[in-house]
Amino acid sequence: MKVLYKKMMAIVVGSLLLSVGINLFLIPDRVLDGGVIGLGLIANYMWNIKVGFTIICISFPIFMLAWFNFRSYFYNSLHGLLISSFLIDFFSNVRAYHFPLDPAISSIIGGIFVGGGIGYMLRHQTSTGGTDLLAQMIAKLFKLNVGFVILFIDLAVIIAGGYLFSAQTLMLSIITISSVALTTMLITSNKVTSLFTHFG
């Protein structure tokens, strides 16, 4: 029960960090993250579709793959997907209170929040699914750092977004995914994990 409680708390805290990063820092400046979140943002910018709803729809085939090949990842990510998607859409109204920062600064801070949310959940063996789930599967197969895998997937999405929107969107999104990847790698590194474990 203690492990389950910690995992659920990690999902809630991580999802809140994701929601803050996306709604307060990325969307107001039309900046993209990578992966499934980035695809959700593209759908929001182009057709005003809710980000969380799009994330769930796009994540479905990835979860089907996990169900047949990585069953433990499926169970560890399903709650994260549903809760994070719900909170991203639930707190969408906070965009009206975004901070009037330079877009580059917003991209960095937004990336830190998103990477913090992703990393915190991964450190507790759970995730939001989507790119995180796919990255975990690839990282396990090829023994790679999950942050590096996420970075490569994210690059493909933001290049597509830069083509659809503008060069500025591309540059700001590169800043964001770099911030996300560095934060995720820091939080999921063995040294940081050992530090958190040592202090409870």
Q: 35-86, pLDDT tens digit by residue?
A: 899 999 999 999 999 999 999 999 998 888 888 877 877 887 888 899 999 9
What's the whole-number mean pLDDT along residues 156-164?
A: 88
The answer to whether residue 200 sits within a structural domain is no
Of all residues in the chain, what percent carry a pLDDT higher than 90?
Answer: 44
**Average pLDDT of span 165-172:** 91
With respect to residue 53, please indicate whether it lies within any of the assigned structural domains. Answer: yes
Could you tell me if residue 198 is inside a domain? no
Give a yes or no: residue 78 inside a domain. yes
Domain contains 197? no
Q: Determine, yes or no, domain membership for 111.
A: yes
As a whole number, mean pLDDT of residues 116-127 equals 87
User: Is residue 21 a contact partner of residue 110, using CB atoms and an 8 Å limit?
Assistant: yes
Residue 166 lies in a domain: yes
Residues 6+ positions from 166 with CB-CB distance below 8 Å: none
Number of structural domains (the chain) is: 1
Q: What is the helix, strand, coil percentage profile of the chain, to 5?
A: 85, 0, 15
**Model pLDDT, residue 190:** 62
Burial class (CB in 10 A: 0-12, 13-18, 19+), 59: buried
Q: Is the dihedral of CA 82, 72, 122, 120 positive or negative?
A: positive
pTM of the shown model: 0.85
Cα 192–Cα 139–Cα 142 angle in degrees, nearest 5: 125
Query: In this structure, what token pair is assigned to residue 56?
Result: 């769930």
Poorest-confidence range of 7-11, 92-96, 113-117? 92-96
Which residue type occupies 160? A
Q: In the structure encoding, which two tokens stand for residue 172, read together?
A: 């700001």
Q: Say which residue, 164 or 191, is predicted with more confidence.
A: 164
Residue 106 domain boundaries: 2-92+102-187
* Over residues 141-167, mean pLDDT: 83
